[in-house]
């Protein structure tokens, strides 16, 4: 088995992918700000316009996966060509760049907000609740979702 197999496959060779930890969201934000300032584009980069641009980039990202089916999009995308993976990296980058710019324009500390949201998710989707819901024989989504209502997470 390859080392990009899903961790859910109980594969002892699985090594999770890791990002380069020397590059930060702040590096991306600063570089994009310099890029836009050099072109005098700051006046166009309102929160609304950045969100619309982000949505456009999400659409372009979606097109890369559209119609391929899950079998052609395995973890690691080993069956994608070098060019396809490079294009994927470019589209993902466009999304992150616009997301960082939007967060900056809205005065949201994105890395901090991400970590705070993960803490909320840990509380709402506790391991016990998730395992109880996934191990149950409940077929309907409504029944499974009862484990994750606001009342049950408090």
Mean pLDDT of each 10-residue bin along the chain, 154 residues long: 46 76 94 97 96 97 93 90 96 97 97 96 87 68 64 49
Domain with residue 88: its CATH number is: 1.10.287.1080
The pLDDT of residue 10: 52
Q: What total of structural domains would you count in the chain?
A: 2
Report yes or no: 29 and 63 within 8 Å, Cβ to Cβ. no
- d(C-alpha 148, C-alpha 122), whole Å: 11
CB atoms inside a 10 Å sphere around CB 14: 16
The pLDDT assigned to 1 comes to 35
pLDDT at 112: 96
State whether 26 and 86 are in the same domain.
Answer: yes
Same domain, yes or no: 24 and 76: yes
Q: Of 93, 114, 109, which Cα lies nearest the Cα of 28?
A: 93
- Domain range holding 124? 109-154
**Planar angle of CA 91, 74, 114, nearest 5 degrees:** 55
Specify whether 74 is located in the same domain as 137: no
The answer to whether the predicted template modeling score (pTM) of the entire model surpasses 0.95 is no
| 92 shares a domain with 32 | yes
Q: Note the pLDDT of residue 134.
A: 73
Co-location of 50 and 116 in the same domain = no
Check whether residue 114 and residue 100 sit in a common domain. Answer: no
Whether residue 73 sits in one domain with residue 146: no
Do 6 and 55 sit in the same domain of this protein? Answer: yes
User: What pLDDT, on the 0 to 100 scale, is given for residue 127?
Assistant: 87
pLDDT of residue 144: 63
């Amino acid at each position: 088995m390859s080392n990009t197999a899903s961790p859910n496959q109980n594969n002892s060779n699985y090594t999770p992918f890791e990002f380069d930890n020397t590059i930060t969201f702040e590096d991306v934000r600063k570089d994009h700000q310099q890029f836009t300032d050099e072109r005098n584009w700051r006046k166009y980069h309102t929160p609304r316009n950045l969100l619309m641009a982000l949505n456009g980039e999400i659409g372009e990202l979606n097109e890369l996966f559209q119609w391929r089916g899950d079998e052609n999009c395995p973890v690691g995308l080993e069956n994608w060509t070098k060019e396809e993976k490079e294009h994927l990296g470019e589209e993902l980058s466009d999304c992150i760049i616009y997301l960082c710019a939007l967060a900056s324009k809205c005065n949201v500390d994105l890395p901090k907000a991400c970590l705070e949201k993960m803490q909320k998710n840990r509380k709402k989707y506790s391991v016990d609740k998730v395992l109880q819901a996934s191990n149950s024989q409940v077929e309907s989504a409504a029944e499974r979702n009862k484990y994750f209502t606001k009342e049950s997470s408090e």
